[in-house]
Amino acid sequence: MPGMRDERFQRTVVYICAHSDEGAMGLVINKPIDIKLKNLFEKIELKLDHRAELAEQPVYFGGPVQTERGFVLPERRAALAYSMLAPEAWSRVRTIVQRTVASGLVYLPSSAADFAHPEVAPLLSKYVRGSGGIDAQRRVKVMKLLWDAVGSEFAGRHDLYEQLYAGGWETLRLQAASEAERSGRLAAMEALADRCMDDYDLDGWTSPAWTDAC
38 shares its domain with 114: no
- Amino acid 200 reads Y
Residue 26 lies in a domain: yes
Beta bridge partners of 15: 27
Does the pTM exceed 0.85?
A: no
Show Cβ contacts of residue 120 under 8 Å, excluding neighbours closer than 6 positions.
Answer: 109, 114
Same domain? For 34 and 105 the reply is no
**Angstrom distance (rounded) from CA 156 to CA 164:** 13
Q: Contact 9/26 with Cβ under 8 angstroms?
A: no
In a domain, 212, yes or no: no
Structural domain boundaries enclosing 53 = 7-60
Residues 83 and 56 in one domain: no
The per-residue pLDDT string of the chain (214 residues; one tens digit each, 9 = 90 and over) reads 556 677 777 788 888 888 888 888 888 888 888 888 888 888 888 887 777 778 888 888 888 887 778 888 778 888 888 888 888 888 899 999 999 999 888 888 888 999 999 999 999 999 999 889 999 999 999 999 999 999 999 999 998 888 888 888 888 899 899 989 988 999 999 999 999 999 999 989 988 888 886 6
